Amino acid sequence: MFSGGRAAGGRGAHRNLCGVKPATRIILIGAPVAVAVSMILGVGSEDEIPLADRPREAQNTTAPVQNPLKSGSASERRALEARIDKMPAGLAAPAKKEIAARLVSTAEHSTLNWRGQYDAIEDLGDGNGYTAGTIGFCSGTNDMLQLVEAYTADHPDNGLARYLPALREVDGTDSHEGLDPGFTDAWVAEAGKPAFRAAQDAARDRIYFDPAVRLAKMDGLGTLGQFIYYDAMLLHGPGLEPDGFYGIRQAAMKKARTAAEGGVEKTYLNAFLDESRSAMRSRTGTAQRDTSRIDTAQRVFLRNGNMGLAAPLEWRMYGETFRIPAS
């Protein structure tokens, strides 16, 4: 998704996500999130996973799918799922989810107005092709393809459907072949439709928000911790590699116990943020590795003990101050 701290023309002065997602996320995005979360949390069989979330045959042969968590027996997974369902909504509560969207939008678009970004699309020169929409779906990192596939399944005559063959071909690259010159105009036009805006929200939740929040709850994390997981899932991609979300989580767990394991939540979250920041700073070939979203936002909330992510909130992103007043 958007590459960190990049100064860009147009609606947002900064972009932060696409550029730091490892390219290998294309291999893992279907399997770790859909299959592993299904296995770990007991949310259904592989047949119940949406078609857009299933890895293609070529993906299955490229990298083995490994379980990033302790799966346990089927009955244990069902019991865990039941416990999670009984937990407070946390970041999934409408007011908190709105805060999360606004926080992410400051990192991606340098604005609190996340709803004004559905039609955003540009190539940031970060190696991930076109970056578009509220959370920065990328033509090179598979999530844009998932979005358009799912949207087309429900709305076959949409203006982006004819670009699906090209999106499949450029997936994993920065190429525009088959997309230019009309894809950007088609995206903007489609973003004017409520159905496509809803499809962006649904893809965001299915690929990133819901798995991150449920896993954070499993780890005993409150609302702030759930947001930290969600933002990291967006930033690093739901991959098993060391600089993917699950690799970062695994590294943090080696340094501190999660709250569910009897550890101190703040200690664990600091360890997680350390690993996330290190992954951002260590990537080669990524010119923009600004860590504001950690250093002057999430770490500030954590240091202040705002574990409930309660407004009022004030943070800095790329040197600019943002505020969410108390409701």
The pLDDT tens digits of the residues spanning 224-256 come to: 999 999 999 999 998 889 999 999 999 999 999
CA distances from 14 to 164, 288, 312 (A): 28, 10, 24
Q: State the pLDDT at residue 20.
A: 54
Residues above pLDDT 90, as percent of the chain: 66
Stretch 291-308: mean pLDDT: 97
Stretch 202-220: mean pLDDT: 96
**pLDDT reading at 41 higher than 70:** no
Residue with more model confidence, 37 or 114: 114
Q: In a 3-state reduction of DSSP, which class is residue 296? A: helix
CA distances from 140 to 52, 102, 132, 181, 221 (A): 16, 25, 11, 17, 32
**pLDDT reading at 43 higher than 70:** no
Q: pLDDT tens digit string along 313-324? A: 999 999 999 999
- Residue 180 designated active-site: no
Residues above pLDDT 70, as percent of the chain: 76
| Domain chopping of the chain, boundaries | 18-324
- Close Cβ partners of 120 (under 8 Å, ≥ 6 residues apart): 10, 11, 12, 109, 131, 132, 133, 134
Q: State the pLDDT at residue 252.
A: 98
**pLDDT reading at 170 higher than 60:** yes
**pLDDT reading at 30 higher than 70:** no
- Residue 241 designated active-site: no
Q: pLDDT tens digit string along 111-144? A: 999 999 999 999 998 889 999 999 999 999 999 9
- The residue whose two tokens read 């299915």 is 206
Which member of 119, 126, 171, 275 is catalytic?
126
Q: In a 3-state reduction of DSSP, which class is residue 122? A: strand
pLDDT band at 198 (very low <50, low <70, confident <90, very high): very high
**pLDDT reading at 16 higher than 80:** no
**pLDDT reading at 35 higher than 80:** no
pLDDT band at 271 (very low <50, low <70, confident <90, very high): very high
Q: Which of 93, 98, 166 is nearest to 134 (CA)?
A: 98
CA distances from 50 to 63, 85, 206 (A): 21, 21, 9
Question: In this structure, are residues 68 and 200 in contact, taking their beta carbons and an 8 Å threshold?
Answer: no
Low-confidence winner among 265-279, 283-297, 310-324 (lowest mean pLDDT)? 283-297
Which member of 108, 174, 265, 290 is catalytic?
108
The β-bridge relationship of strands 137-138 and 313-317 is unpaired
Phi, psi of 81 (to 5 degrees): -60, -40
* Average pLDDT of the residues of the chain: 82
Considering the entire predicted model, what is its pTM? 0.82
- Burial of residue 47, with CB atoms counted within 10 A of its CB: 0-12 exposed, 13-18 middle, 19 or more buried: exposed
- Burial of residue 94, with CB atoms counted within 10 A of its CB: 0-12 exposed, 13-18 middle, 19 or more buried: exposed
Q: Does domain 18-324 have CATH number 3.20.20.100?
A: no
